[in-house]
Amino acid sequence: MRELLRSVWGAPRALDPPELGWRDWALVGVVASLTVLEGILRPDIPARAAAVIITLALVPTLLWRRARPLPMVAIAFAATGVTPLFIGREPDLVTMVYLLALPYALFRWGSGREAVAGAALIVAKNFLSAALGYVDLTEMVIGFVVLFATFALAIAFRYRAMLWARGLDQAKLLERERLARDLHDTVAHHVSAMAIRAQAGIAVAATRPDAAVDALRVIEAEAARALAEMRTMVHTLRRTGPADLAPNPGIPDLVRLANGSQPGPIVDVELAGDLDGIPATVGTAIYRLAQESVTNARRHARHATRIEVLVAADAGSVRLRVTDDGDTGSARPAGPGGFGIVGMTERASLLGGTCEAGPNLDRGWTVAVVLPWSATAA
């Protein structure tokens, strides 16, 4: 129990709360308008003018509920706690329900210390109001139920946001590790080529010096490519572990994505342009991105009959376009766990390229990827 309390007390504030925006100002305007309207339409409210003024004075606390949750809770509940000393009772306006947004924000975005302090302040205020006779026992119990339901809702959404952020980080990490393993294979290929050329150069150095020089030029080129890919690997690798050293697929392997006799939509693969000489890093990335796109289309493209995969190259970049003719309005999860497109975007950005996915204007879904011919770590 002590460890639980200590972990709650030491919990940090939620990361990246939404910044103050037009929606917050709109909320303030709506609440203020409803407060004035209620004051006009309900002449039976005790101390009506004072109740409306106090309610309006507390409305601006909504603007800073995320940035300063504890001070806003303290201001609002302290003000409603001392109000009966001046008007004989607490403001009795229905629109004051907006104050529940403050304890919600406290538990949704505040730190553990702020949440505990704010909850203690709110509980103390309610007990004081009941002790002084401003609210009866039934109202106090109902108030506590509503407050604890608000706390629980805020904690649930906070936990859900934490899981989502953790899932995003995990998806990016896994894609970085996968890319690092792919790079390992390409670097091994370059080193092997250098070793073979070096052996050939040594064998002919005495009798054919020109051939030995040619071998040195090839070794130099392979070393430059290996060095560039090693730099990319250093940028992408995030933790050590056993690497999967299976051969990596490339551009020629894209034909394997065609479904042949498999059930489901027909998969057409088209290769255009001069694709010879594409670095293994880029070729593997194109294959992985096409594979993920086709898999998502097969799983989630409702009523699709055809999936088209087009890979084209020009002087500066390699382009991948995967299009299906499924229903545009159907939901398209991003992949297992909802992070497939996140991983695809991460892989493309790590190689200095872009990956965009979305519905077509008429029908279907398109994934468009552009990778530079000589991929470098972003």
3-state helix/strand/coil string of 27-61:
HHHHHHHHHHHHHHHCCCCCCHHHHHHHHHHHHHH
Of 6-15, 114-123, 250-259, 276-285, least confident by mean pLDDT is 6-15
Pairing between strand 306-313 and 365-372?
unpaired
Q: What is the pTM of this model?
A: 0.52
CA 372, 374, 375, 378 dihedral sign is negative
Inside any domain, residue 143: no
Domain termination site, one of 184, 208, 236: 236
Inside any domain, residue 259: yes
Report pLDDT digits (tens) over 116-143: 888 899 888 888 888 877 777 888 888 8
User: Using an 8 Å Cβ cutoff, are 39 and 93 in contact?
Assistant: yes
Report how far residue 190's alpha carbon sits from residue 256's, in angstroms, rounded to the nearest whole number: 25
Q: Is 320 helix (H, G, I), strand (E, B) or coil?
A: strand
Report the CATH number at residue 195: 1.20.5
Domain count, the chain: 3
Inside any domain, residue 246: no
What is the pLDDT confidence band of residue 34, given thresholds at 50, 70 and 90?
very high
Q: What is the mean pLDDT of residues 154-176?
A: 79
Domain termination site, one of 84, 107, 135: 135
Stronger pLDDT, 240 or 56, i.e. the higher one = 56
Write the DSSP symbol of residue 94.
G
Same domain for 272 and 222: no
Measure Cα distances from 264 to 32, 289, 357 in Å.
56, 20, 21
User: Using an 8 Å Cβ cutoff, are 304 and 336 in contact?
Assistant: no
Identify the domain containing residue 288 by its residue range: 251-372
Highest mean predicted confidence (pLDDT) among 84-93, 201-210, 281-290 = 281-290
Report how far residue 95's alpha carbon sits from residue 82's, in angstroms, rounded to the nearest whole number: 19
Report how far residue 229's alpha carbon sits from residue 186's, in angstroms, rounded to the nearest whole number: 8
Report pLDDT digits (tens) over 1-27: 567 567 667 777 887 788 888 999 999
| Alpha-helical regions (H) of the chain | 2-9, 22-41, 48-58, 69-82, 84-87, 101-109, 112-131, 137-204, 209-236, 280-300, 340-350
Report the CATH number at residue 263: 3.30.565.10
Write the DSSP symbol of residue 276.
T
Report pLDDT digits (tens) over 176-205: 666 666 665 566 556 766 777 788 788 878
Same domain for 273 and 212: no
Report pLDDT digits (tens) over 37-67: 988 988 888 888 888 999 999 999 999 998 8
Domain termination site, one of 107, 135, 163: 135
Inside any domain, residue 90: yes
pLDDT at 226 over 90: no
Task: Please report, rounded to a whole number, the percentage of residues in the chain having pLDDT higher than 70.
Answer: 80
